[in-house]
Structure 1
Amino acid sequence: MRWGTYFAVCGAVISIGLALGVTMPLVSLRLESWGHGTFAIGVMAATPAVGVLLGASLAGRLAARFGTTSLMQMCLLVGALSVALLAVVQSYPVWVALRLLIGVALTVVFILGESWINQLAVEEWRGRLVALYGTGYALSQLSGPLLLSALGTTNDLGFWTGTGLLIGGSLLLLGRAGAPSVDAHSASGRGLWAFCSRLPTIAWAVVLFAAFEAMMLTLLPIYGLRQGFNQEVALLMASVVVVGDAALQLPIGWLADRMSRRTLFRACGLTLLVSSLAIPLLLHTPVIWPIWVLFGASAGGLFTLALILIGEHYRDDELVRANAHVAQLWGIGCLVGPLATGAASQWISGHALPLMMALGAAGFVWLAWNRELFEDEAATAAD
């Protein structure tokens, strides 16, 4: 196994998590200070999701033309330029356009990077290696809000820090080789419905975690402010959620190499459902802090296990194509989650964020108990 390449690719993708962890809360807090409502903030949070859908349709063709490594480097630099422009031009419509471009560019990096990581992983270590990547990414997001607290939210240092991180990520890929082979159609994004039909539980887990991640970095700090907490505590809540995600991904990956991955998948879904329902009830008590940890760990576990199962099932072109569909589902989750929760928070309930997550977790639990992980395999076994 190419350990140097594995850590370089992980580092490049993780640089995105840290950059987004710094800039996404800053965008939301800046909009809040400008007087925008939660729906407008939700629209801004959902905008990169449209870019995700576009990026998923372009990744394969662009990788075939420019090469996987070169394309990932170019996209990281485009993302860096877009983040820098957030500091230079502070206008809501311009920010929407820039966030769209960020979504396109960074999606290509995610599709190719996660395919590369899964391709490198040997089967007996797949759970732990994918979880190690997930832990690193979650820690980068944890560090983002903490770093933003240190940098301050009244200046543009957060944007410039994000710019530097993305440039650094592109440099890590210099001279790296061994990515999955990609042709012009591998990650075209075609056949999403067929993918969801074959892997319904996995597909819903991806959508659910995407909505979770988009809301944790954008709407959770606002949720905390609206529930009476100060800005420092609201940002700390978002950080603690990511601590839960980061702290327990390696144990989840370790368990995934030693027990039924389906059983573990179900356990994460149930934990997410229970913790989501507990948040409104325990928000103003000390018990909320371990609840935030479980909330983050269970949501992160769903995505980690989804990646493990996909890597177990697919290789090369099929793996890249599957990750393109994951990116599309991610875009859908990032689009629907903040929009629906932002609207519900403004017009229905101040506790819409945890309640919407509970609704999504309930849907996952139903699928996990009533549908096969891979429907095509179930049909083959029945024959």
Structure 2
Amino acid sequence: MAGIISTVTVFAVAQGLTYPLLSFILERQGTTSGLIGLSSAMTPLGFIVSASFIPALARRVGGARLAILCSVLAALTLIAIAWTQDVWTWMPLRFLLGFFANPLYVISETWLISITPAPRRGRIMGLYSSIVSGGFAIGPLSLGLVGTQGWPPFTVGIVAFLVCGLIVLAVVPRLPKTPHEGTATSVGGFLTLAPLLSFAVFTAAAFEQILLSLFAVYGAALGSAEERIASLITCFIAGNAVLQILLGRVAERFGSTQSMLFCALASLAGCLLLPPLFTSWLIWPLVFVLGGVSFGIYTMSLIQLGERFTGQVLIAGNAAFAFAWGVGGIVGSPATGLAMQLIGHQGLPSSLGLLCCVLAALLMARRRRV
């Protein structure tokens, strides 16, 4: 468990750094919010395209070898991104970054769910989400230490990708084998099998991707400095990291579905409070809690996945989660960027709030049917 979680955590450091870093660079170049959102969507597009290949690749190549290869290729891609400073050149490179990052997440989560005892699933998946979120938090936080100019911030991400591969290499003998029992299920088949669960992942992904990619634009419109925006993003992900274990325990006591509904409603409330509190000191605790409950939707989805599915369906489910995550990112960022161009910077909290409202309504409708 330690090896699996450490692998994804280090990878998350690099992922958490790239979104705000590239947004800051594009913002300084005078790029429109819509184009920044489109650029950010290339990484989740890579998630979408790679998702359907992962189950077969993991069986043929082996999960550990595939994870190590993806770590190296992701590092090379980030070097290429650092070498260029053009938004159009970054489009295919950010796509490749998502394509190479996705298998690592799918394989690691399948490994972890496979070896997690059912009575402790809530707290262990909460711990996993918390530690991985801590890795995401270190990424933006490092921008405050190394800045957003030149090679130093990119070097942090490149080293993190390579360290990830070394960790997998070190724990290969202890890693569980890819499960082969059960009927092989495609990504599309799983999406049909569990549509509401897939939409929850879509919502969590869109929420995070929108905030990471466009919060810099939102803060700049309200006159905030880059350092304050980066700190708020770090606070958002820190709340994500701190609260997941608590939310996992809540899921063990009250059930993952009920806990997911709570996370959706709390996220909606946070979106409504974001505009009036942005210039107040209360923005810090608000963003902290918002980070926890919004990502808690994904944690509850992982818990439900482990409760309901095993074997090859579990692999397909994790790949489908990656697909839904990618769709959430690719749809959310450009749509919100366009909304911000049409109605102003308040298009950000409005878009986030609408997502949470739809998820909460679907969850309540399902509860009534049950």
Asked if Structure 1 and Structure 2 have the same fold, meaning a TM-score greater than 0.5 normalized by the shorter chain, the answer is: yes
The residue number in structure 2 matching 1:163 is: 158
Name the aligned partner's letter for residue 76 of structure 2: L
The residue number in structure 2 matching 1:242 is: 237
Q: Distance in 1 between matches of 2:367 and 2:109?
A: 24
Q: Distance in 2 between matches of 1:347 and 1:220?
A: 17
The residue number in structure 1 matching 2:83 is: 88
Q: CA deviation at 1:191?
A: 1.9
Alignment of 1:1-383 (within 5 A): 6-174=1-169, 175-176=172-173, 177-182=175-180, 186=184, 188-195=186-193, 198-200=194-196, 202-371=197-366
Q: Distance in 2 between matches of 1:125 and 1:364?
A: 26
CA contact (8 A) 2:221 2:345 kept: yes
Q: CA deviation at 1:350?
A: 1.0
Name the aligned partner's letter for residue 181 of structure 1: P
* 3-state SS in 1 of match to 2:101: helix
Q: Distance in 1 between matches of 2:216 and 2:3?
A: 32
Q: CA deviation at 1:91?
A: 2.4
- Structure 2 residue runs of 5 or longer lacking an equivalent are none
Render the CA deviation track for 1:45-97: whole Å, top value 9, x for unaligned.
10112111111011112112211110111111111110111112222222111
CA RMSD of aligned residues (A): 1.8
Q: Distance in 1 between matches of 2:273 and 2:185?
A: 39
The residue number in structure 2 matching 1:381 is: none
Q: Distance in 2 between matches of 1:357 and 1:7?
A: 33
Q: CA deviation at 1:282?
A: 1.8
CA contact (8 A) 1:187 1:324 kept: no
Render the CA deviation track for 1:196-230: whole Å, top value 9, x for unaligned.
xx341x22221111011212222112211111111
CA contact (8 A) 1:119 1:179 kept: no
Q: Distance in 2 between matches of 1:91 and 1:270?
A: 40
CA contact (8 A) 2:42 2:94 kept: yes
Q: Distance in 2 between matches of 1:94 and 1:181?
A: 39
CA contact (8 A) 2:17 2:142 kept: yes
Q: Distance in 2 between matches of 1:75 and 1:187?
A: 24
Render the CA deviation track for 1:313-339: whole Å, top value 9, x for unaligned.
111211101111111110110011101
Name the aligned partner's letter for residue 176 of structure 2: G
Render the CA deviation track for 1:328-354: whole Å, top value 9, x for unaligned.
110110011101111111222211111
CA contact (8 A) 2:133 2:241 kept: yes
CA contact (8 A) 1:56 1:187 kept: no
* 3-state SS in 1 of match to 2:253: coil
Q: Distance in 1 between matches of 2:57 and 2:284?
A: 44
* 3-state SS in 2 of match to 1:191: helix
Q: CA deviation at 1:186?
A: 4.8
* 3-state SS in 1 of match to 2:52: helix
Render the CA deviation track for 1:77-132: whole Å, top value 9, x for unaligned.
11111011111222222211111111111111111111111111111111111111
Q: Distance in 2 between matches of 1:27 and 1:82?
A: 14
CA contact (8 A) 2:191 2:198 kept: no
Aligned residues: 366
- TM-score using structure 1 length: 0.91
- Structure 1 residue runs of 5 or longer lacking an equivalent are 1-5, 379-383
Of the structure 1 ranges 351-360 and 214-223, higher mean CA displacement relative to structure 2 is found in 214-223
Q: CA deviation at 1:168?
A: 0.6
Runs of 4+ in 1 over 4 A off after TM superposition: 185-188
Q: Distance in 2 between matches of 1:234 and 1:290?
A: 14
CA contact (8 A) 1:63 1:182 kept: no
Q: Distance in 2 between matches of 1:255 and 1:44?
A: 37
